[in-house]
Amino acid sequence: MGLLTVTDNLLDLLRYDPQEPMLFNSALFLFLYTGVMVVYGTLREKGFARILFLTLFSYYFYYKSSGFYFLLLLLLSVSDFLIGRRIARTEGKGGKRAWLMLSLALDLGLLVYFKYTNFLFQTFADLFRKPFDPFDIILPVGISFFTFQSISYVIDIYRGKIEPLRNWFDYNFYLSFFPQLVAGPIVRARDFLPQIRQKPVVTREMFGRAVYLIAAGLFKKAVISDYISVNFVDRIFDNPGLYSGVENLMGVYGYALQIYCDFSGYSDMAIGIALLLGFHFSINFDSPYKSATITEFWRRWHISLSSWLKDYLYISMGGNRKGRKRTYANLMATMTLGGLWHGASLRFILWGVVHGASLAVHKFFLERFPRLTRKTGSEMKPWRRALGVLLTFNLVCACWVFFRADGMDRALEVFRRIFTAFHPEVFGEMIAGYKPVFALIALGYLAHFLPARWEDYWCGVLTRTHFVGKAALLVFVIWIVVQVKSSDIVPFIYFQF
């Protein structure tokens, strides 16, 4: 009976549980990933077996995140693999375009159904003042990420930038590779495909950087982001009317750090985990709150998405090749659709509209006042850069309000409290009441604004450290995570996209 109980508990642990998706910072993932690394090490010389093994684990990883929706991933891998080959074989631009449109219809059709069906029906119901009961549609985790990844593969074949793969297993591996599967970064086919058949090599520098990224990402996500979320930010945004304006403002600044640590922490872990497997991903975040302009911010924030929107949406609409007005319109359209990509809600659309308008305004000033705006980065005078960082950061934070609030009414309530009931006299009392929270906020922002060379220095130190030292660092970070861990599971914010 005892053995049966243990077996049942083990099977329950390995089955999909919507309340406990497998996360990088979970004990189950750590245990399974250790086993994967052991098996993977024995398959380094066996190309197909290695690819098949990682693909199967990737599908299991996605099953633990979204259940049997892994079949959607399988469907997408088959359809776009076949369509990509048909595009390459078809003569004439019209025929190629027809196959491309079919791929987009299939990929975007899946995305629209799962993400926007209820939103569209609710919009029409409100327009015609009709009742509407939302359909019971569960959003598969990460569908926006692997859909965009597959779209980029087909478009690159259509544009002649890459050749279609001949082996479906390679494409399936590219699309399902578990480190970036559910929350990015969005990996380009032309960057990843050449690595698939290469014998994986993990140098000492790669290993050291991987450990650094995993430890840093785990600390950012499971310590800073989760702690300030559960113990401060969520309380403010759940009931902004119960708090003063200064507390709401600190809640906004706290959320700006929370979402950065949450998403960049996940990206760091994804990049580090991939490095240990011998695969290289491009950087996804580059200290975005150091940006002195909104344009610079979007070159530093979620780089894989912003570059994807630029290459496959903005440029496809004409980019800046068709005059100033069209350029501004393209920026607005790109960012509005980028906002809609994040969520089927008016507040996400508004978030995108404000960012699009800000990018258009900045581009307008670049063109009209080149002497004042042509210098960027280190070329700017320190006082101008400091002022630019301050203004850009607060603009981004203001937009985060719409991103985080549960609805427009609550978002407007946050602004209302900030501008009409600020009460700065409660600041000291607030700090005293949330000492651990504000200590972590201060630590997070301090680390963010440190020079990049500091990170390179400590990464180098860790690279030169003995294996035992690296293991001790990871154990120490895990111990800290356990000490501050909330009883509730705090999923990655971008899982919902």
- Which of these, 372, 282, 359, 377, lies nearest to 319 by C-alpha position? 359
pLDDT band at 1 (very low <50, low <70, confident <90, very high): very low
pTM value is 0.90
What is the model's pLDDT at position 366? Answer: 83
Query: What does the angle CA 475 – CA 476 – CA 482 come to, to the nearest 5 degrees?
Result: 90
Whether 362 sits among the annotated catalytic residues: the reply is: no
- Read off the tokens for 175: 């699309």
With a pLDDT cut of 70, the percent of the chain lying above it is: 93
What is the model's pLDDT at position 144? Answer: 86
Catalytic residue among 342, 355, 448, 466: 342
Say which residues have a Cβ less than 8 Å from residue 196's Cβ, sequence separation at least 6.
51, 170, 173, 174
Q: What are the pLDDT digits (tens) for 144-186?
A: 889 999 999 999 999 999 999 999 999 999 999 999 887 778 8
What is the model's pLDDT at position 103? Answer: 94
- What gap in Å lies between CA 315 and CA 269, rounded to an integer? 31
Pick from 121-125, 193-197, 241-245: least confident: 121-125
What is the model's pLDDT at position 375? Answer: 55
Give the containing element (helix H, strand E) for 250. helix 245-276
- What gap in Å lies between CA 45 and CA 52, rounded to an integer? 13
Largest CA distance in the chain: 80
Q: Where are the domains of the chain?
A: 25-196, 204-292+376-496
For the cut 80, the answer to whether the pLDDT of residue 493 exceeds it is no
| Residue 275, CA distances (Å) to 67, 208, 261, 440 in order | 27, 10, 20, 28
What is the model's pLDDT at position 427? Answer: 92
For the cut 90, the answer to whether the pLDDT of residue 238 exceeds it is yes
Is the model more confident about 4 or about 142?
142
For the cut 50, the answer to whether the pLDDT of residue 454 exceeds it is yes
For the cut 90, the answer to whether the pLDDT of residue 440 exceeds it is yes
Query: What does the angle CA 148 – CA 40 – CA 181 come to, to the nearest 5 degrees?
Result: 15
Query: What does the angle CA 61 – CA 213 – CA 196 come to, to the nearest 5 degrees?
Result: 55
Is the model more confident about 486 or about 304?
304
Helix, coil or strand: residue 18: coil
For the cut 70, the answer to whether the pLDDT of residue 38 exceeds it is yes
DSSP 49-88: HHHHHHHHHHHHHHHHHHGGGHHHHHHHHHHHHHHHHHHH
With a pLDDT cut of 90, the percent of the chain lying above it is: 47
